[in-house]
């Protein structure tokens, strides 16, 4: 089988996978490939961590110059041990990331290689199922709309529980405005790494490159925290996630801006707020689609939030032109679905044209 045939098959697979996702949504099963990748990450972390030096607090060395020489020597030794612990955790995190990527990408690659060589359409079918598992359009809409329905039918406490399923922040004390804002932010941000970025990578390299991306993205969601446990061990995975999402996040924001007028939202203001607030986040990518959505909706997103009981100060994204309402969850979902379809159409046509040019060149 030549490269042209495989690329054609991968295009069909991505289109079919997207349609399957719209129909069935993301299946909830422990055998889901992303769950399996998550289990792999957890097992590798458990296996690698014992070989990393325990991080030692170097505060004992902070009194150098005022403490006794013995205390200073002890502080220097503690600081050196802490430094070695940091380096070993960094190395352990790099090892884990490499193993996760190789395994998560290698298995799909081998499976597709065998299937395509057994029977071409078997390969296309298997790759379509792979692509189906990597999209999250319907599940993202379903889970966020569950928040809206919970607020409308069962009240604030039910809304808090519903939104807790899709956000990482503490939700126990959120007001209704906070619940709605969290749901809107989740849809906006996850359009990038749950829909557009996987789609872009799959259009380029099929299901194999899609799994390459999702392995990195899943690692970031599990170990990419800047807390005591993962500050060093998860740093490589977090930085790698920033790299693979850098271009997709910005393209996804532009798609939001272009799609906004098609869904009755303000594309001009989406452009304005994106240009102004796209860097209002510690992550270089997270505020890209959030700022475009905030501008399109004329609402203010982000701001301070609690994670694991600790307050994190964050800048606002967007202008407080009007209070955010429950209906904004439905509005941002219409934007997300329309942007997903537009992205598929544009990227699909671009790849089809490339294949047409390739076919003419090699005819």
pLDDT at 274 over 90: yes
- Read off the pLDDT of each residue in 60-88 and give the average, rounded to a whole number: 50
64 has a pLDDT exceeding 90: no
Q: How far apart are CA 163 and CA 147, in angstroms?
A: 6
Q: Where are the beta strands (DSSP E) in 216-321?
A: 301-302, 305-307, 310-312, 316-317
What is d(CA 270, CA 196) in angstroms, rounded to the nearest whole number? 18
List pLDDT tens digits, range 167-202. 988 888 899 999 999 999 999 999 999 999 999 999
CA–CA distance from 234 to each of 60, 161, 219, 282 (Å)? 25, 28, 8, 16
Report pLDDT for 348.
Answer: 96
pLDDT at 242: 96
Nearest to 86 by CA among 232, 236, 234, 225: 232
Q: How far is CA 90 from CA 53, 215, 219, 231, 262, in A?
A: 11, 18, 14, 9, 46
| Placement of tokens 């889970």 in the chain | 143
- pLDDT for residue 228: 83
The two three-digit tokens of residue 238, written as one number: 């977090």
Question: What is the distance between the alpha carbons of residues 93 and 2, in angstroms, rounded to a whole number?
Answer: 37
- Whether the pLDDT of residue 111 is over 60: the answer is yes
pLDDT in tens, 195-231: 999 999 999 999 999 999 999 999 999 998 888 888 9
CA 272/CA 129 separation, integer angstroms: 39
What single-letter DSSP state applies at residue 54? P
Local confidence band at 283 (pLDDT 50, 70, 90 cut-offs): confident
φ and ψ of 319, to 5 deg? -105, 145
Residue 95 pLDDT class (50, 70, 90 cuts): very high
The β-bridge partners of 312 are: 305
Give pLDDT, residue 168. 82
Q: How far apart are CA 331 and CA 216, in angstroms?
A: 30
pLDDT at 87: 87
293-312 average pLDDT score = 89
- Residue 85 pLDDT > 80: no
Q: What is the pLDDT of residue 82?
A: 53
DSSP code per residue over 51-107: GSPPP--GGGGGGTTTS-HHHHHHHHHHHHHHHHHHHHHHHHHHHHHHHHHHHHHHH
Confidence of residue 363 (pLDDT cuts 50, 70, 90): low
Tokens matching residue 179: 């619940």
Residue 1 banded pLDDT, cuts 50, 70, 90:
low
Percent of the residues in the chain that have a pLDDT greater than 90, as a whole number? 74
Rounded to the nearest integer, the mean pLDDT of the chain is: 89
25 CB-side CA count, 13 A: 9
């Amino acid at each position: 089988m030549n490269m042209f045939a495989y690329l054609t098959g991968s295009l069909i697979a991505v289109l079919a996978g997207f349609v399957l996702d719209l129909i069935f949504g993301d299946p909830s099963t422990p055998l889901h490939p992303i769950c399996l990748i998550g289990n792999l990450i957890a097992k590798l972390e458990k296996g690698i961590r014992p070989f990393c030096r325990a991080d030692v607090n170097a505060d004992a060395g902070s009194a150098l110059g005022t403490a006794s020489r013995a205390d200073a020597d002890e502080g220097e030794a503690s600081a050196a041990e802490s430094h070695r612990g940091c380096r070993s955790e960094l190395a352990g995190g790099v090892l884990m990331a490499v193993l996760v990527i190789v395994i998560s990408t290698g298995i799909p690659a081998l499976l597709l290689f065998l299937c395509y060589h057994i029977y071409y359409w078997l390969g296309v079918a298997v790759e379509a199922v792979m692509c189906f598992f990597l999209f999250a359009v319907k599940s993202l809409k379903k889970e966020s709309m569950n928040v809206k329905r919970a607020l409308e039918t069962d009240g604030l406490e039910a809304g808090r529980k519903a939104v807790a399923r899709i956000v990482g922040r503490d939700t126990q004390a959120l007001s209704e405005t906070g619940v709605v804002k969290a749901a809107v932010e989740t849809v906006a941000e996850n359009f990038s790494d749950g829909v557009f970025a996987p789609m872009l990578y799959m259009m380029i390299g099929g299901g194999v490159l899609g799994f390459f991306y999702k392995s990195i993205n899943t690692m970031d969601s599990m170990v990419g925290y800047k807390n005591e446990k993962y500050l060093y061990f998860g740093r490589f995975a977090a930085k790698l996630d920033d790299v693979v999402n850098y271009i997709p996040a910005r393209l996804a924001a532009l798609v939001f801006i272009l799609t906004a007028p098609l869904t009755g939202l303000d594309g001009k203001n989406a452009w304005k707020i994106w240009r102004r607030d796209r860097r209002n986040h510690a992550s270089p990518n997270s505020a890209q689609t959030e700022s475009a959505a905030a501008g399109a909706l004329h609402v203010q997103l982000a701001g301070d939030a609690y994670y694991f009981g600790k307050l994190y100060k964050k800048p606002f994204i967007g202008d407080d032109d009007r209070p955010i309402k429950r209906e904004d969850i439905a509005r941002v979902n219409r934007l997300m679905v329309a942007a997903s379809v537009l992205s598929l159409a544009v990227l699909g046509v671009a790849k089809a044209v490339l294949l047409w040019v390739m076919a003419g060149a090699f005819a």
